[in-house]
Amino acid sequence: MARRVLVLVGLLVAGCASTGQVSLGEVREFADASARLGGYAELSRRYRDTYDRESPYLSPQAERVARDTDARRRAVFDDFVAIQKTLVLYMQTLSSLAGDGRYDLSGRIDDLGSGLKAMTDSGLQQRHVAAYTGMTRLLTRVITSRYQNRSVDTMVRDGNADVQTLIDAMIVLTRIYEKANENERKTVLGLFNAEIPMANRNTDRMLVTLAKVHLQNKTAEYKLIDRRYKLAQQGLTKVALGHQKMRENMDKLSSEETRHMLAGYVHDLNLIRDALSGE
């Protein structure tokens, strides 16, 4: 009976092994890096809070308009964030689907191994057991990875168009955030640029000094945030491109070229994420 099992497993392995080893490591890393990118949520919040930062610098008339705009920004904020949440959930699930942690079957293969060891006295030689264990390991990997590969393929293929649409929306929104931030910068700093030269009486000296310090701080703040809009847009563009390339190369995920390409996107995304978190 044990020999029949061995033959059966051997045949299965022989049949399945010809499909080749599937590599999803790069897919997983790309999905992880995409889910962790960051930037967009923070910039969405900053956009939502524009009025809070601007209001001290506004005239009563301008403030009335600003309050109305503030209400409209806040009304759609959840929708802006929902886009990102959908995308992050998608990427996290793709990462799980392509991940090997979830499919770490070593414990179960050990069960299989001990089952085999129990058969060593029943006509199987030790080398058979070793080969058997090796083949079984390959078998489980092939069975699982074929299923995984199909699942990842389906997800990437079916999801690509919507992923592209959502990322495109996020990029466009980030550009609008950037424009709004630029307009805010001009509102805030512009007031000081006009008022400081007009305050040239001796009695204004302390006020002018304080105003210059405030201007310096605000200038530094806007300079710092400016870079984040560009980084966020670059990151989102990389995610969109990476997913598109993955979609186009699903049938050759194991090829060196595809793996290298995906690894390149992961590298770029990690650099962008580090730059975003390091500031």
Partner 1 sequence: MATSSHSNPDPASDDTSPTPTSATSRQQAASPLPNQPPMPEAIVTTVTPGMPPAAADRLDVDSATRANALSTMQCVVDLADSVVCIADDLHERILQEIAGYNDRTMPDAQKALMRALTDDERLLRQYAHALYADAATFVIQDLKEPQHRLMALTAEAAEKIRRIGVIGEVTGLVGGILLLVGSIARGQFSQVGAALEKIQLHNATLKTLKPDSTANT
Binding to partner 1 in span 184-223, by CB under 8 A: 184, 186-187, 189-191, 193-195, 197-198, 200-201
Span 36-65, contacts to partner 1 by CB under 8 A: 47, 50, 57-59, 61-62, 65
Q: Is 69 in the site for partner 1 (CB under 8 A)?
A: yes
In a 13 Å sphere around the CA of 232, the CA atoms on its Cβ side amount to 26
Q: Cα angle at 259 between 28 and 155, to 5 degrees?
A: 45
Nearer to partner 1, 197 or 278 (CB): 197
Q: What is the DSSP letter of 202?
A: G
Q: How far apart are CA 275 and CA 64, in angstroms?
A: 37
Which listed range, 13-21, 67-75, 239-247, 270-278, lies at the site for partner 1 (CB under 8 A)?
67-75
Spatial contact of 2 and 124, defined as CB atoms under 8 Å apart: yes
Nearer to partner 1, 183 or 209 (CB): 183
Which listed range, 149-157, 209-217, 229-237, 264-272, lies at the site for partner 1 (CB under 8 A)?
149-157
Q: Which residue among 16, 17, 180, 263 contacts partner 1 (CB under 8 A)?
A: 180
Query: Under 8 Å CB-to-CB from 243, ≥6 apart: which residues?
Result: 30, 34, 156, 160, 163, 164, 167
Which stretches of 78-185 are assigned E, i.e. beta strand?
none
Three-state SS sequence of 236-256: HHHHHHHHHHHHHCHHHCCCH
Q: Is 130 in the site for partner 1 (CB under 8 A)?
A: no
Span 87-106, contacts to partner 1 by CB under 8 A: 87, 89-90, 93-94, 96-97, 102-103, 105
- Find the shortest distance in angstroms from Cβ 260 to partner 1: 26
Span 3-42, contacts to partner 1 by CB under 8 A: 5
Q: How many residues bind partner 1, per CB under 8 A?
A: 84
Nearer to partner 1, 24 or 266 (CB): 24
Query: Under 8 Å CB-to-CB from 19, ≥6 apart: which residues?
Result: 142, 146
